[in-house]
Copies of this chain bind each other. A is one copy, B any other.
């Protein structure tokens, strides 16, 4: 780090000021990941700050409270999920997806979301926090939103929607227990993951091995 020349101004091309909206989205992304892994109560605003590369008070000041930040995180996750579903529905309405494939394509859209671990996991952490008066309220509303979208907009029979959601919750649980990262060749685990993740299995296992940005805790000597 000892620059021979005295030109200090050229030393930080990465360190820049950032417009608030952009910083906000950046924080939400990292918060999604950390909340998704450690849960609401198990996550500190400091951990999120470190992941986002800023100071802890700034995180708090930008979102008011930790709880408001969490609500925004699950709202964002819910948004991305519905956008993904509605995109499939749009392709269906334009005839690009035949009706007999619609279910499979919606399932595919869900599984595709696995790649951003934070979305599915933070959403699941929101569900599990259902006892909380404010988070729980949002979680229930969100879950029913998805249910209605699949039933009323995709026109699926109620029990098919239920089954679809069940498969989703299993996927979430398998990700939550970290099976793709820790199955170590176990035969039963491999079988269950093959059946659950389908064609996306290799992607899931690949995303597991290259650790997703764990640089946050690489600095406590």
Contact = CB atoms under 8 A, between A and B. Distances in A.
Nearest to A143: B177
Nearest to A142: B177
Contact of A195 (B40, B131, B143, B159): B159
Contacts of A128: 39, 124-125, 128, 173, 176
A147 B174 CA distance: 12
A186 B144 contact: yes
Contacts of A199: none
Contacts of A167: 163, 166
B144 A176 contact: no
A62 interface: no
Contacts of A101: none
Chain A interface SS verdict (over half): helix
Contacts of A192: 144, 147, 158, 161-162, 165
| Count of chain copies | 2
B129 A196 contact: no
A189 interface: yes
Q: Nearest 3 A-B pairs (CB), nearest first?
A: A41-B42, A130-B177, A166-B170
A93 interface: no
A37 interface: yes
Given A39-B129, A128-B124, A169-B166, A140 B177 contact: yes
Given A39-B39, A41-B39, A178 B147 contact: no
Contact of A182 (B42, B140, B172, B196): B140
B189 A38 contact: no
21 contacts: A39-B128, A39-B129, A40-B42, A42-B129, A124-B128, A127-B176, A127-B177, A130-B179, A131-B178, A136-B178, A137-B182, A144-B189, A144-B192, A151-B188, A159-B195, A162-B192, A163-B163, A163-B166, A166-B167, A169-B172, A169-B173
